[in-house]
Each structure stands twice: as structure tokens, then as C-alpha cells.
């Protein structure tokens, strides 16, 4: 399992609109092969800062199966206009087989 962590900075004053459209965008990503689950979190300290945590079966499921598909273009059309800049995206793998 791979955990994608995307840090998203939303344009000032656009947070509520972003959160309002996000349920439509999450349907797009959730329909992608290899998708497991996701959660969107809003920063308490930094207005307009969000992290999107997406669990994928593999790195390829995200980078090839989603990012190289028409789903990604639809995803970006829905929420990309809210971004202040490109999201910072990293992928993480478990260090052990024991997860809490």
C-alpha cells in the first residue's frame, strides 16, 4: 500500500468553495483502479492549507492508472482552479508490516 500525501494551498477566500466542490472530485478519484481510500484535512493554523491523503494499492496505480488517465484531467478541471500553486505530492510506503 502506498500513501500519497498532497499538500494543497487554496487561493485566499476560496476554501469553502473548494470544500463544496470536493465531493464531486472525490467521486472521480475513488473510481480509479487501485484506489483504496482517501481523506481531506484542513489546517487549523493555516487558512487555505489542506492535505489530501490517498491510499493506493501501488505507486503505479496513482502515477499511471490515475495520473495518465482521463480521470486526472476531470479531477483537475473540477478543483485545479482553486489551487494557489501546484500541490506538493509525495508517496510513502510502510516501514514494517505492523501498522497501528
Run of H or E including 8? strand 2-9
CA distance 8 to 52: 8
Q: What is the dihedral of CA 31, 91, 88, 8, to 10 degrees?
A: 50
| Residue 99: band (very low, low, confident or very high) from pLDDT cuts 50, 70, 90 | low
Query: Structure pTM?
Result: 0.91
Q: What is the dihedral of CA 4, 34, 21, 77, to 10 degrees?
A: 90
Query: Nearest CA to 56 among 48, 47, 65?
Result: 65
List, in order of start, the domains of the chain with CATH numbers: 2-92 (3.30.70.100)
pLDDT of residue 98: 64
pLDDT of residue 96: 78
As given in the structure block, the three cell numbers for residue 9 are 494551498
Amino acid at each position: 500500500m502506498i500513501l500519497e500525501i498532497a499538500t494543497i494551498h487554496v487561493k485566499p477566500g476560496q476554501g469553502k468553495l473548494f470544500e463544496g466542490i470536493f465531493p464531486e472530485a472525490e467521486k472521480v478519484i475513488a473510481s480509479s483502479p487501485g484506489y483504496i481510500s482517501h481523506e481531506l484535512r484542513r489546517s487549523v493554523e493555516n487558512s487555505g492549507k489542506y492535505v489530501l491523503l490517498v491510499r493506493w494499492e501501488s505507486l503505479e496505480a496513482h502515477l499511471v492508472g490515475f495520473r495518465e488517465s482521463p480521470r486526472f484531467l476531470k479531477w483537475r478541471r473540477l478543483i485545479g482552479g482553486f489551487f494557489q500553486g501546484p500541490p506538493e505530492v509525495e508517496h510513502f510506503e510502510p516501514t514494517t508490516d505492523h501498522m497501528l
